Each structure stands twice: as structure tokens, then as C-alpha cells.
A and B are shown apart, each in its own frame.
Chain A
Amino acid sequence: MTCEEFELAGLDLGTLRKDDPVQIAAREHLRVCPHCAALHENWQRLQADLHALGGETREAGAPARVEMRLRQEYRTQHKTVKAQRVAVFAGWSLAAAAVIVAAVSWVNWQRENGHGIVQRAAVDMQKAAPGGNNANGTKPAGPELGETLVASNDTGEFTLLPGSLPGTLEDATVVRVQMQRGALDALGLTVNEERASDLIQVDLLVGDDGQPQALRLAQNTN
């Protein structure tokens, strides 16, 4: 073994078996080379020093306060995460509920604003028709022969115009118009002459033939 080979192998000499060929060759070399013998002695001393230095802290561990701090941080972290999850869940639930409420409201509003009005008008007409379904015995809104016809905005019901047939009103359309009160006279209604020039809003129920069949004073008309 040369000095160079000894230097390369020297690191592992302590870990090799006694009968290992490298170990035997190294021992032979140490006998004949004082330089490598001195180097080997230094290595062994350094090894012992490192072992002793390592021994000083061999059982060392982080102080207990580190564990306490970390566990505290762990709890805080997971409490925060839980709170965040609850907040997110609550937020999404509220948003979903709001969407559902809005959707239901919109559908209801659509129903009421669309054919709902017409259907209600038709039902009103049927109630008002002589001989119609008037089971609860209320007075029909339509005029009877010989009666004075007066438009009313108290009940919100349509008043049949003279000559209208209640049965034909199922597909009628509601049209809101603004007119002078005096124009009601042309529809066969009695008008107070003192207020004939007032502008009023009237809902007209227009039949398939384009003729008004019934009317109702709009709720906001005075």
C-alpha cells in the first residue's frame, strides 16, 4: 500500500474487520511509514475528540418550552382553520338560501303579473255573472237591469259594462289606460259631472273582439 492509498483508505480503517485485506495492508504500511503512522495517530485522536464532543450533546433535545409553544400554535392554527371552515360553510348556506328565496319570489311575481291577473279577472267575472257560481251568496259586481252602474275602486273587482257577456271573458286582456272621468259615460257608467274633467287610470278588460267588456278603477286613482 502506498501513502496515497493509505490516506484514501484511512477513513474507514476503524470500521473494517481485522482480517480485511485493506486493513492488513494498512497495518503493514503503518509499520514502515512514520509519516502515515503520525497521520493515523492524529486521525485516531481526532476521532476520539469528535466522539467526546458528540457525547457532550448526545442526549440533548429541544427544551420543553419549544414543545409547549408548538402545541399552542398547533391549537391556534387548527381552531382558526375550523372557524374558517364554519364561516365559509355558513356563508355558502346563506348565499344558497338567498338565491332560493329570490328564485321563489321571482316565480311568484311572474305568476301574479302574468296570466294570474287575467285568471283572477275571469274568476271575478264568473262570480259577477247572473247565475254564475255564487255559492257564498255575495252580491255580484255586474249590473242588473234597471240598476245604476257605478265604477268602484274599493273592491278591486272588475265591473261588467252594459251588454258584456261574462262567459266570453276567459281570454280577455287587461289594459291600463288614462282617461278623463267623463269618458266613462261613453261606456255606460254614471259620472259625477263636477269631477268629469279629472284624469283617472282605468284597467279595461278587453275581449277577443277588441271591445272593453269590464273595467276597474286603478287602485292609485283618487
Chain B
Amino acid sequence: MHIGAQERDDVLLRRSAKGDEEAFTELYRRHQAPIYRFALRMSGNIWAAEEIVQDVFMTLIRDPKKFDPGRGALRSYLYGITRNRVMKHLERVPREWMNQEIDEDYTGQAGQGFDVMTPAEWAEIRERREQVRTAVLELPVEFREAVVLCGLEELSYEEAAQLLDCPVGTIRSRLHRGRALLLAKLEMLRDGPRRASASR
């Protein structure tokens, strides 16, 4: 059966629950990328992100009736499951590991447009991004969510509020505090090497 792009998620999910594999595939392709990116940016680890995406859609396969269209969009529901899985992952993995698990796949695309730069400029920018990435991963989870959704995924406050199932004001204040913390952390990261070299 043909599936139109405008076919609603809940209709697709119902068809998927009845054994329509095409409907399930369409649902997966519609939602996997943002969920994968969210998991990747929250965990900082591509393997964890992959596992989380698999877990989220496995839940959809095994228990599609858990989703209630009356309570919100499927996207919010999937984000809810993703957040839970991310939390579990973060509880399991010690914080210091997260920063060691800098994956080439995650940072590998940083070289886009860098071919016109000198190696020194390239290295500086790369270092700066690495610092930002580390600072984001060190934020408390609720601030990190807001920064990831509004700062990295560039969603509006309303969209982020809908996905995190909280008021828009909460998103604004979390983002505000998240950015303040990020700035402070980046200052510390920049000052750290300076202090270290000064003490020598």
C-alpha cells in the first residue's frame, strides 16, 4: 500500500501495529534522525546514540499501544522515551568516560570549509569546538536538553517545550542558565591552560 508523506503518524502507527512493515519503515525514517542527533548530543557517544535509537523504536514495535494520540504527538512521545534512555545511559556511564569518548565520527565533519584556513587557524577552531562540546556534555542534564534542542538543533522555545513536555518559560530559564554555565565553563577551559603555562 502506498504511503503518502502527509499520512499522520498515529495512522501509520496503527498500520504498523497490524503488521504493515512499510508503515513502520516510514515512521522510522521520519523520526530517526532528530532522535539520533538528540541522543548523540546528549550522550556524546555514537554507539550509545545508536543503541538508544534502536531501543526507542523497539519499544514502538513491541508495545505500540502505549502511545496515546490524545496525549500528544508521536514525536513528543518518542522524545520522552529517548530522554529516559539517555538518562539511563548517563547513569551507567561515569562522567569522565563521556569526555574520553570523543568519537571521530562526531567531530569528523568539523573540517567542512576548513580547507581555506591555515593549519593553525584550523587547529584553533577545532580546539574551540572541542571545548564547547565538552562544556555542553558537562552541563546538568536539564540545562543540556535545553541547549541541545534550542542551541544545537535550533528549535523554537515552543517546539522544545512541546518535546520536553514543560512550559515555554521553563525552557527559557533553563536555556538562560545553561548558557551562563557554558560561558563560565568555557572561561575555565580557556583559563586552565593559561594558568598551567603561567605556573611553569
Roughly how many angstroms separate A60 CA and B41 CA in the complex, as a whole number? Answer: 11
Say whether A69 contacts B54, CB under 8 Å. yes
Cβ contacts under 8 Å, B186 to chain A: 46
Q: Does B143 contact A (CB under 8 A)?
A: no
Q: Does A63 contact B (CB under 8 A)?
A: yes
Q: Does A198 contact B (CB under 8 A)?
A: no
Binds A, one of B1-9, B24-32, B83-91: B24-32
A 24-54 contacts with B by CB, 8 A: 42-43, 46-47, 49-54
Roughly how many angstroms separate A52 CA and B154 CA in the complex, as a whole number? Answer: 11
Cβ contacts under 8 Å, B16 to chain A: 74
Query: Size of chain B's interface in residues, with CB distance under 8 A?
Result: 45
Quick one: CB contact mask for B22-66 with A, threshold 8 Å, 1 for yes?
001100110011011100110000000110011001100110000
Which one of A60, A62, A82 has the highest number of Cβ atoms from chain B below 10 Å of its Cβ?
Answer: A62
Q: Does A70 contact B (CB under 8 A)?
A: yes
Q: Does A195 contact B (CB under 8 A)?
A: no
Quick one: CB contact mask for B121-154 with A, threshold 8 Å, 1 for yes?
0000100110011001000000000010001111
**A8-B176, A57-B152 provided; 7 other pairs, C-beta below 8 A?**
A46-B179, A50-B132, A50-B136, A52-B125, A60-B33, A71-B25, A77-B62
7 nearest A-B pairs in the assembled complex, by CB-CB distance: A54-B152, A61-B33, A50-B151, A62-B36, A49-B132, A62-B53, A78-B19
- The chain B residues found within 8 Å of chain A, CB to CB, are 16, 19, 21, 24-25, 28-29, 32-33, 35-37, 40-41, 49-50, 53-54, 57-58, 61-62, 106-107, 109-110, 112, 125, 128-129, 132-133, 136, 147, 151-154, 172, 175-176, 179, 182-183, 186
28 contacts between A and B (CB under 8 A): A8-B176, A11-B172, A11-B175, A46-B132, A46-B179, A46-B183, A49-B128, A49-B129, A50-B136, A50-B152, A53-B129, A53-B152, A54-B152, A54-B154, A55-B112, A58-B37, A61-B32, A62-B33, A62-B49, A62-B53, A66-B32, A66-B53, A67-B32, A70-B58, A71-B25, A74-B21, A74-B24, A82-B19
